[in-house]
A and B are shown apart, each in its own frame.
Chain A
């Protein structure tokens, strides 16, 4: 089984809908991250969490919110989806600061 899993793997939604992307990990890592990848722009950091009590904004947090339900679970929400949030979303984990990051398989989100 994969160490970092993301659900759903693909999602099509309409403008204005609320949507949640979920990430689970079995690596026992404290740090978890959400990134988005856009063609021509590379990956950019949305939010990150050091533990269940600590949430931090990344470079592009506007329009997103997150929830760290447990050490192993980190969810990303789009409260009111818009078309320019169409992207590939990745979750990642790390054992600690300056440690290697491990990525999930990604969620392809399309907002129409």
Chain B
């Protein structure tokens, strides 16, 4: 059974810092990995999708990498801002014909002004 772990569970940093969120998964047979942002009381917003054949994806100040063989992904946030405060979720799509995402429990990020 696929398991997704996110470290750290919570992180608080001053505004302007660059930071890295980590995600690991136990079964490397995945089709893609997706990073989401969740704000309190709201739904999930997709940030980046990395297909299993890709190594990284970038969107603005966000960069996500994928090392499928080692079962790891990182989300890099450059020049953090208070508006980046949210919970960040990592999710993997399985191979083998199944569907649906397996999620980590998230990293709760606070950017201090």
Contacts and interface: CB of A to CB of B under 8 A. Distances in A.
Contacts of A56: 99
Interface of A: 4, 31, 33, 35, 40-45, 48, 50, 56, 58-59, 90, 92, 97-106
A101 B46 contact: yes
Interface stretch (B13-21, B77-85, B100-108): B100-108
Name B's interface SS: strand
A45 B101 contact: yes
Interface of B: 4, 31-32, 34, 36, 42-46, 49, 51, 89, 91, 93, 99-106
B103 A102 contact: no
22 contacts: A33-B101, A42-B103, A42-B104, A43-B101, A50-B99, A59-B100, A90-B44, A97-B31, A97-B93, A97-B99, A98-B51, A98-B93, A101-B34, A101-B46, A101-B91, A101-B101, A102-B46, A103-B36, A103-B43, A103-B44, A104-B43, A105-B42
